[in-house]
Amino acid sequence: MSTSSVPSAPSVLFVCVHNAGRSQMAAAFLTRLGGNRVRVRSAGSAPADTVNAAVVEAMAEAGIDLSAETPKVLTAEAVQASDVVITMGCGDACPYFPGKRYLDWQLDDPAGRGVTAVRPIRDEIERRVRGLLAELGIEAAA
C-alpha cells in the first residue's frame, strides 16, 4: 500500500519553557497512547540541560522511561510542521503561524518540586492527552 494514500497523522507540538517537565510528560503520554497515529514533538523556549529528575521518577511509576530524553529548543520550523501547538506556560515565546490550532494548558510547573508534587501534574497531563486524542478522533491505546 502506498503511503501517499494513507491520511497523514496529525502532528502535535508540546511547548514549555524548559522542556524538562510538562511538555516531556505530555509528549511521552501522547506517544504511548497515540502510537503511530499521531506525530509528537516537544520543545522549550529556554531548554534546560536535562529532564527534571522528579518528572523522570513520576513517569517511571506510570511505566514510561524519560531517562534518555533531552530538552530541545523551540524552533519556528517545529511550530510550522505541527497541526496542533499546545503551550504550557511559555507565553509570548511561542511563534504564531496562521492555520495552526493553539491550545494553552494551564498546569503547575514541576520545577523544583519532589515526585509527590509531580504526580498530580502527571495525572492531569495524562487526562488532557486522552481528551486531545478523543478530539483528534484517535482511540487511545490500552
Instruction: Return the active site residues.
Output: 16, 90, 94
Tell me how far CA of residue 34 lies from CA of 30, 43, 74, in angstroms.
5, 19, 22
Tracing cell 481528551 back to the chain, one arrives at: 131
* Residues of the chain by 3-state class (helix, strand, coil), percent to 5: 40, 15, 45
CA proximity to 21, closest of 66, 61, 63: 66
Contact 136, 10 (CB under 8 A): yes
